[in-house]
Amino acid sequence: MEVINEALEFEKAKMSHMSTSDKVVASREAKRLILALNDIYKKSKDNGLMDIMKRLTVKKKKIELRLKGRPDPSF
């Protein structure tokens, strides 16, 4: 259950004051963890894993939003 521990540590990690390259690395790490948890979830159908994946997905989306920037609403 190494992946679960890594996911929980990633979830607790602070994401403030990150450089662009740090955000890219964090986004890729989140994706890796989500996919690894998904493989475990397919076998066990544990709802706790699904909750962890959902929380990681939210964190990943926030990181990617900061990377891409918000769209300009003036159009």
Q: Dump pLDDT digits (tens) for 3-34.
A: 889 999 988 888 888 899 999 999 999 999 99
Residues of the chain with pLDDT > 70, as a percent, come to 99
- Mean pLDDT for the stretch of residues 45-67: 91
Q: Which pLDDT score is estimated for 75?
A: 63
**Residue 74: which pLDDT band, with cuts at 50, 70 and 90?**
confident
d(CA 69, CA 21): 15
What torsion, rounded to 10 degrees, do the Cα atoms 12, 46, 34, 9 define?
Answer: 20
Domain ranges of the chain: 1-10+31-65
Average pLDDT (29-50) is 92
